[in-house]
């Protein structure tokens, strides 16, 4: 399955988990798009199309696709979910429940490995945001 499709679907589910999309989550998504080499227009089109999907079916589809990815990609996607969820300085309970359900119950991933990748992604996001304020 396609890494881009999975990260997009799980991003969508995460930002809607608490009922509202936060501006800081959107800002981090732009950095995620750049860092991951995604095409922003395609990502935005996918976000629009996902609005009409049933979230429980979307979750099931995303999870099936996620399970077909290599473990390193699974970890990276979950790490991105953590970065986005913490974008506003606070991880909502519903966001954490979604992340926990996926990484622990569905994939049995090691949290310390996710934190290690999350730390690296946070560094990359910080560097991108620092560079954009300079330029």
Position 21 scores a pLDDT of 81
pLDDT tens across 63-121, in order? 999 999 999 999 999 999 999 999 988 899 999 999 999 999 999 999 999 999 999 99
The residue among 97, 100, 88, 80 whose CA lies nearest residue 29 is 80
* 92 close to 18: Cβ distance less than 8 angstroms: yes
How many Å apart are CA 131 and CA 97, to the nearest integer? 33
Q: What percent of the chain has pLDDT over 90?
A: 82
The residue among 42, 81, 79 whose CA lies nearest residue 59 is 81
How many Å apart are CA 1 and CA 68, to the nearest integer? 6
Taking residues 25-33, what's their average pLDDT? 93
The conformation of residue 104, written as its DSSP 8-state character, comes to I
Domains and CATH numbers, the chain: 3-134 (1.10.3680.10)
Predicted TM-score (pTM) of the model is 0.92
How many Å apart are CA 31 and CA 126, to the nearest integer? 9
């Amino acid at each position: 399955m396609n890494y881009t499709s999975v990260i997009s679907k799980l991003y969508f589910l995460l930002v809607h988990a608490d009922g509202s999309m936060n501006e800081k989550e959107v800002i981090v998504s732009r950095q995620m798009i750049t860092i991951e080499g995604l095409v922003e227009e395609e990502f935005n089109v996918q976000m629009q199309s996902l609005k009409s999907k049933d979230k429980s079916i979307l979750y099931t589809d995303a999870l099936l696709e996620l399970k077909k990815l290599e473990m390193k990609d699974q970890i990276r996607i979950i790490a991105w979910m953590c970065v986005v969820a913490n974008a506003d300085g606070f991880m909502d309970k519903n966001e954490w429940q979604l992340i926990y359900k996926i990484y622990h119950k569905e994939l049995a991933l090691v949290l310390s490995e996710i934190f290690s990748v999350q730390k690296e992604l946070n560094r990359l996001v910080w560097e991108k945001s620092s560079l954009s304020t300079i330029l």
